[in-house]
Structure 1
Amino acid sequence: MSIGEAAAVKGVSIDTLRRWEKEGKIQSVRTQGGHRRYDIDTLIDFKENRKTIAYARVSSHDQKNDLERQALLL
């Protein structure tokens, strides 16, 4: 599959796939035109440790209850 399709499958950007390949985490095959092609089974099996960061804020102390609701939702 193409790099764009592979990025969509993994839920990452094209640049991330290129970086993973440069770091040796995944491999691609190059076409005669130099385009990357990825194996779907290899991509699905690849697990990258990713962190999710949540951020909540309000603009004033009077909105403390809003901040607490945001934190619970996150």
Structure 2
Amino acid sequence: MAEFLSIGAAAFLLGVAVSTLRRWEKESRFFLDFRAPGGHRRYALDKLLAFCGQSTANEQRRTICYARVSSHDQKKDLQTQIARLHGSRSRKNQRAIA
């Protein structure tokens, strides 16, 4: 059974304002799936994910970590930070690229 979201939840998922979804509907750029008995808009989750280029499948995600220092004198500290980041990634079975 398909999962349906309110206009607020759909807007949050897409990263747009509720008014944007209403405008897209008026401009026939995006269609709601149905209106609830009280007139509330409902959007199918799978269509929303497809619209923003995602899928419901468990996709591989990337975590980006970075290290920085504020001066050249702290270069040794930078190497320590990088080593810690590599260590934390390997403990989580994640690949680190430096």
Please give the range of the TM-score, normalised by the shorter of the 2 chains.
Answer: 0.5 to 0.7
Shift of 1:35: 0.3
Aligned residue among 42, 53, 68 for 2:47 = 42
For the residues of structure 2 that align with 1:39 and 1:10, how far apart are their CA atoms? 13
TM-score where L is the length of structure 1: 0.59
Shift of 1:32: 0.9
TM-score where L is the length of structure 2: 0.45
Aligned residue among 4, 14, 19 for 1:15 = 19
Give CA deviations for 1:41-61 in whole Å, capped at 9, x if unaligned: 1112225xxxxxxxxxxxxxx
Aligned residue among 32, 46, 57 for 2:37 = 32
Give ranges in structure 2 of 5+ residues lacking alignment. 53-98
Give ranges in structure 1 of 5+ residues lacking alignment. 48-74
Larger Rg belongs to: 2
How many residues are paired up?
Answer: 47
Aligned residue among 3, 6, 10 for 2:10 = 6
For the residues of structure 2 that align with 1:26 and 1:41, how far apart are their CA atoms? 14
Question: Which aligned runs of 4 or more in structure 1 are off by greater than 2 angstroms?
Answer: none
For the residues of structure 1 that align with 2:36 and 2:25, how far apart are their CA atoms? 16
Shift of 1:26: 1.5
Q: Which has the higher contact order (CA 8 A, sep 6+)?
A: 1
For the residues of structure 2 that align with 1:8 and 1:22, how far apart are their CA atoms? 19
